[in-house]
Structure formats: structure tokens, C-alpha cells
Amino acid sequence: MGGTLLKNKIKFARNLRKQMSDAEIKLWQRLRDRQIDDLHFRKQAPMGKYIVDFVCHKIRVIIEVDGGQHNEQIEYDSERTRWLETQGYKVQRFWNNEVLQQIDNVMEVIWDLCASRRNL
């Protein structure tokens, strides 16, 4: 990836970190500061030509929080998930309303996923 392109992607990711949705903010409050089994998650992280919502590189887990716009970009999201999985990552998606209304259930799924990935 060219230097200018990489710098633009990093700048875009920084802007996304400042403009997180309510659902992303709520989930980040639960993922940050190694609250899940002392695992370090990053938010709005560049990966290849994409920017993922949350990633833990140690166990190769990506958490995506999807809003309504994802109903119109199913093919793009599928292509993106396939590429991330070819890089060895497990992608877990949640809808905004799941995070906002059922955060304990969402966290249970994430805890289980992280535990299963730790044992690989």
C-alpha cells in the first residue's frame, strides 16, 4: 500500500474513532482496558483495505457493529468478511440494536468466542 494511501487510511480511522455510533461506544466501554480475559482490543483499526470496528490481534478476533446501512451492502460485507477470514481472523457481527438493547447477551457471545480462540 502506498505511503499516501496508508496515511489517508490512518487519518480516516482516526476520524471514525471520534465519530463512533452509540452502539459502538457502548460496546467499546466493555471491550477497552483489557476487560475480557486481559485481551487488548483496538477500535477502528485499519486492516488491508478495510477498517474494522474492533480487533484483538492476539487471538485474531474482529467484532463488527452493523447499522441499517449494512442491509444495502450485503455483498460488500461478505467480500470483506471473506478477506479478513483469509487473514486468519474470526469475524463476529452484531446489529446496533443488539448492542444497545442486549449488551449482556452480546458480551456473553464475545467472551465465548474469545475463550474458544485462546484455545487454538
- Interval 108-117: pLDDT, tens: 999 999 999 9
Give percent of the chain above pLDDT 90.
69
CA distances for 58 relative to 4, 61, 86, 88, angstroms:
28, 8, 16, 11
For the stretch 10-45, pLDDT in tens is 554 455 555 689 999 999 999 999 999 999 999 999
pLDDT of residue 74: 82
Sorting pLDDT into bands at 50, 70 and 90, what band is 70? very low
Higher-pLDDT residue of 23 and 71 is 23
